[in-house]
Amino acid sequence: MAEIILVRHGQANSHATDETSYDHLSDLGREQAAWLGAHMRATDPHFDRVVTGTLRRQADTARAMGYDITAQDARLNELSYFALAQALEDQHGIPAPRDPTEFAIHLPQVIDHWTRDTLEGIPEPFSAFSTRITGLIDEICETPGRTLLVTSGGVIGMVMRHALGLGNGGMARMMLQIMNSSVHRLEYVHDMLMVGAFNATPHLDTPDRAHARTFV
């Protein structure tokens, strides 16, 4: 049996307006990761392998959790949201969001146009994004043991789409709910990939850490 534990990185630079400046953990993001690592070590600490994407915020989350990284795989890197948002504005006149409420409306619009191939000049088409992530997950399903993957919200949304057979609109709504440093568990048994947990934050569920439950 293969067990996959997906973790979204801790809070990054939420005031960023481009991919490069976003790719840094905030002080709270490091704290979220440290709390999650302490929780994991106190409950079920063993992983046969720890894999992150090549983005700084992903690797720094794994290290702040207290784990040594076995490998880095660019297939775990996030979708290029800022580039997609710019293309959506330039080509379809839909402006970038200014606050979380607007973002909740904007992200499904981005995903809709991206999946329908109506955005030109973007770094990666949706079909390539889907193929790289589902390909990686299918490989891990053939590898016995427990694998910790530290990645990003869009990647986790795609994994859930793959496992649950979601439509693109359902994937976008799921992505909006994925919290920083959240935990998602899947198991590959009986030749099926099954979801055991989604968006768990046991390390943030005490009243004194309510402030640390962030989405961006």
pLDDT in the model for residue 85? 96
pLDDT in the model for residue 44? 82
pLDDT in the model for residue 16? 82
pLDDT at 136 over 90: yes
Distance, CA of 135 to CA of 8 (rounded, Å)? 19
Distance, CA of 213 to CA of 121 (rounded, Å)? 35
| pLDDT classification of 14: cutoffs 50, 70, 90 | confident
For 92-103, write each residue's pLDDT tens digit. 999 999 888 999
For 20-51, write each residue's pLDDT tens digit. 999 999 999 999 999 999 999 999 889 999 99
Q: Which domains does the chain have, with CATH numbers?
A: 2-77+145-212 (3.40.50.1240)
Query: What mean pLDDT comes out for the span 63-76?
Result: 98
Mean pLDDT (the chain) is: 96
Q: What percent of the chain has pLDDT over 90?
A: 92
Contact 193, 186 (CB under 8 A): yes
pLDDT at 78 over 90: yes
- 122-157 as b/e, with b when 16 or more CB fall inside 10 Å? beeebeebbebbbebbeebbeeeebbbbbbbbbbbb
Query: What mean pLDDT comes out for the span 13-17?
Result: 83
pLDDT at 79 over 90: yes
More confident residue, 159 or 19: 159
Query: What mean pLDDT comes out for the span 103-110?
Result: 94
Lowest-confidence pick of 31-40, 87-96, 166-175: 166-175
**φ, ψ (nearest 5 deg) of residue 75:** -65, -15
Handedness of CA 63, 66, 68, 70 (dihedral sign): negative
Which residues are within 8 A (CB) of 56 and not within 5 positions of it... i.e. 6 or more apart?
23, 24, 25
Query: What mean pLDDT comes out for the span 111-115?
Result: 96
| pLDDT classification of 73: cutoffs 50, 70, 90 | very high
Helix (H) or strand (E) holding 100: helix 100-115
pTM here is 0.95
More confident residue, 18 or 111: 111
Q: What is the dihedral of CA 34, 39, 40, 44, to 10 degrees?
A: 170
